[in-house]
């Protein structure tokens, strides 16, 4: 079983993915980690790399090809990737969301390379801008919107839940989806 976790920035995709991978004994991959690593190698912030990607689709192609290859050659893994549902269509497709103010607070507290903010308001502005850039870019390149609920099998809102509660919801849905009850 492959579980793809898409959703909004700061919603908890990576945290949920890590817990699911550990509990299922699966490998865990993160498109965000690939983006952050590439940004650091280029001497850019993540925001600068996303702006570059708007002008140069080959930047997206690196991560997209990585996801496609994983979906074709591996099984039993979790991937946190905004376009995972699109490039690994046979996966259990989960959308992770939370209130924008909660997400901004989470992103503000994170210590990821290239993503430090002076204020929560700066984090909020950044994630809102990133979502708009993503929507525009992915619509132009692929004709899709990664934030449309219709693209997913399951939606989890993490606003008022612990990461463990959210991961538990995803786990239960994935188990049901992969082993639905049989009618007699």
How high is the mean pLDDT in each 10-residue block of the chain (184 residues)?
95 95 95 81 82 80 86 94 94 97 91 72 91 90 94 98 97 88 66
The residue assigned the tokens 């538990």 is: 168
83 falls within a domain: yes
139 falls within a domain: yes
Instruction: Determine how many CB atoms are found less than 10 A away from the CB of residue 78.
Output: 31
At 92-125, the pLDDT tens digits run 999 999 999 999 999 888 865 456 788 999 999 9
183 falls within a domain: no
Q: What is the CATH number of the domain that holds 66?
A: 3.40.50.300
Task: State the pLDDT at residue 183.
Answer: 65
16 falls within a domain: yes
Task: State the pLDDT at residue 113.
Answer: 46
Task: State the pLDDT at residue 28.
Answer: 96
Task: State the pLDDT at residue 98.
Answer: 97
Cα Rg for the chain, rounded, in angstroms? 16
Separation of alpha carbons 178 and 70, rounded Å: 19
Task: State the pLDDT at residue 116.
Answer: 76
182 falls within a domain: no
The whole domain housing 111 covers 2-175
Query: DSSP letter at 98?
Result: -
180 falls within a domain: no
Which phi-psi region, left, alpha or beta, contains residue 183 (left: φ > 0; alpha: ψ -120 to 50)? beta
H or E stretch covering 77? strand 77-80
The total domain count for the chain is 1
Task: State the pLDDT at residue 44.
Answer: 85
H or E stretch covering 174? helix 163-178
């Amino acid at each position: 079983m492959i579980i793809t976790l898409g959703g909004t920035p700061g919603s908890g995709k990576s945290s949920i993915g890590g817990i699911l991978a550990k509990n299922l004994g699966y490998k865990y991959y993160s498109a965000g980690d690939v983006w952050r690593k590439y940004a650091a190698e280029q001497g850019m912030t993540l925001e600068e790399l996303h702006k570059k990607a708007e002008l140069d689709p080959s930047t997206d192609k690196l991560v997209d090809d990585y996801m496609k290859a994983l979906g074709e050659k591996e099984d039993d893994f979790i991937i946190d990737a905004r376009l995972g549902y699109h490039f690994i269509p046979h996966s259990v497709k989960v959308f992770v969301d939370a209130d924008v103010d909660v997400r901004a607070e989470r992103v503000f507290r994170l210590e990821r390379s290239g993503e430090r903010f002076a204020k929560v308001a700066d984090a909020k502005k950044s994630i809102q801008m990133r979502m708009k850039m993503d929507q525009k870019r992915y619509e132009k390149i692929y004709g899709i919107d990664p934030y449309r609920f219709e693209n997913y099998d399951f939606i989890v809102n993490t606003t008022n839940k612990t990461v463990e509660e959210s991961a538990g919801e995803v786990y239960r849905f994935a188990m049901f989806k992969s082993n639905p009850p049989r009618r007699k």
